[in-house]
Homo-oligomer: A and B are copies of this chain.
Amino acid sequence: MKTKRVSIKDIAQKVGVSNATVSLVLNGKEEEGRIRKEVAAKVLQAAKELNYEPNNFARGLRMGRSNTIGLILADISNSFFAHIAFYIQEYADEYGYSVIITNTNESGDKMGKMINVLKSHQVDGFIIVPTEDGEEDIRELIDQKTPVVLLDRYFPHLPVSHIVVNNYHASFEATNLLLDSECQNIALLIYNNKLAHMTDREKGYREALVKRNYYKPELVKKITYNTIEEDISTAIKSLLLEQPKVDGIFFATNTISAIGIKELLKQHVRIPEDIKVVCFDKNEAFDFMPFQIPYVQQPIQEMSRKSVDILMEQIKQSSAIPTTMEMFASMSNKS
C-alpha cells in the first residue's frame, strides 16, 4: 500500500496553526494573508520535513483549474509533430503548465474521443492539430467557450485562434525554386485532403505555374493518407511516362517526400539530373542523400511558442478574441 499522503492538515497540526494559514503560506500569499515571517518559516520547514506534496485533485476541484493543457496531434510518430510536442511541453512548463499529449492518427473519430478524454481530465485549454473531418468537434469546443488554439491547420470559417505557416506563399516559393532551375514540367504530389493548409499548398503551386504558363492539371497527383504507399508508387510511375518528360516534382508533405523519393530511386531516376525535387518540411533522411534536397522549412519552434502564448492568453481571459497568426516559412537552401 502507498503510505498515506501528508496533507495540509498534518502540517497545520505540527506547527500549531490553522489549515488556512498553511495554505496561504504554501501559495506564497503571505503578504495578502498577512502571515508573520516566523510563522511562515515554520510552516515551510514543517512542509519540507513531512515531505508534503499538494493534492492536485483537491486543488483542481476547488479552483476549477488544472494547470494542464491538452495537446492533440495528428501523428506523434511524424518527426514534425514530435518536435512540436517537444517544444510545446518546454514552453508550457515556463507558464507552470503541464501538457497531456494525445494522438489521433488523422482520424476524426479519434479526435472527438481525445477531446473527451482530455476534457475529463479538466484541461484548461487545447492545442490541436485538427483532422480533416474535425470541424464540428472544434466548433463545439468554441461554443463551450473552451480555450483552444489550432496549430498547423485551420478551418477558414471557424472563429478560432490558429497558428499556421502561410502555406500558399511557401508553396509558391518552392515551386518557383524549381522554375528558376529551368524546370518546365513540374508535378505535385499532395494529399487528397480538404483542409485549408493542403489546398493552400496546391494553390501556391498552381499559381506559380499558371503565372509562367506551365500549369498542367494532369501533373497534380492526389494521395490518400490510408493508401499512401500504393498511391505514391502509382503516381510516380505514371509521371515517369508523361511526355514531355517531368523534370521537377514538388512533394507537399514530409511523409509524401520520403516515400516519393524512395520510389524515384527505386525507378532509377537520378536526382537532380533527371528530375529536380523540392519538399515541404524536412525529413531526417535528406541528410543522407548524396544530393541536396531543398525543402520548405517551417518555424516549428516559433509556431510552438506562439501557440502556447496565445492559449495562455485565452485561458487568462476567456473572452479574448481569436488570434490568427500566420508565419512565413523559409527555403532550406538559403539561410
Contacts and interface: CB of A to CB of B under 8 A. Distances in A.
A98 B98 CA distance: 14
B144 A3 contact: yes
A56 B121 contact: yes
Interface in A253-270: 258, 261-262, 265
Interface string A17-35: 0000000000000000000
A283 B286 CA distance: 12
A284 B287 contact: no
Contacts of A98: 100, 102, 117-118, 121
Interface in A1-51: 1-3
Contacts of A60: 57
Interface stretch (A81-89, A149-157, A197-205, A209-217): A81-89
A162 to B, nearest CB: 21
The copy count of this chain in the complex is 2
A117 B53 CA distance: 10
A56 B120 contact: yes
A244 interface: no
Nearest to A293: B288
Interface in A43-82: 53-58, 60-61, 66, 68, 76-77, 79, 82
Interface in A305-319: 318-319
Interface in A173-223: none
Nearest to A124: B2
A262 B287 contact: yes
Contacts of A66: 57
A246 interface: no
A122 B55 contact: yes
A261 B287 CA distance: 10
Contacts of A283: 284
Contacts of A1: 145, 318-319
Contacts of A144: 2-3
A104 to B, nearest CB: 11
B258 A57 contact: no
Interface string A86-107: 1001000000001111110000
A321 to B, nearest CB: 15
Interface of A: 1-3, 53-58, 60-61, 66, 68, 76-77, 79, 82-83, 85-86, 89, 98-103, 116-122, 144-146, 258, 261-262, 265, 283-285, 287-290, 318-319
Given A56-B57, A57-B61, A98-B121, 16 more contacts: A2-B144, A53-B120, A54-B120, A55-B61, A57-B60, A57-B66, A57-B122, A68-B121, A76-B89, A77-B85, A101-B101, A258-B287, A265-B288, A283-B284, A285-B288, A288-B288
